[in-house]
């Protein structure tokens, strides 16, 4: 295991760090690749039902 380093900052140092490294909100990616992010498990039942009919 590696050693854990603890950093202590004063209030001024923390405010300087936040100003230098701001948290920027990100947008969700858009497009066809990201439209269907959930798995559709219902297709398997439809496919099995079609296979049984044959």
Domain regions of the chain by residue span: 28-54
User: Rounded to an integer, what distance in angstroms lies between the CA atom of residue 40 and that of residue 10?
Assistant: 51
Model confidence at 20, pLDDT cuts 50, 70, 90, reads: very high
Tell me which residue of 45, 25, 29, 46 sits closest to 37, measured CA to CA. Answer: 29
Model confidence at 15, pLDDT cuts 50, 70, 90, reads: very high
Cβ 17 vs Cβ 9: under 8 Å? yes
Q: What is the pTM of this model?
A: 0.37
In the chain, alpha helices (H): 11-20, 42-53
pLDDT of residue 34: 54
């Amino acid at each position: 295991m590696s050693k854990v380093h603890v950093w202590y900052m004063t209030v001024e140092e923390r405010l300087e760090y936040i100003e230098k490294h701001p948290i920027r909100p990100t947008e969700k990616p858009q497009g066809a690749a990201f439209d269907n992010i959930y798995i559709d498990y219902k297709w398997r039942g439809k496919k099995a039902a079609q296979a049984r009919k044959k």
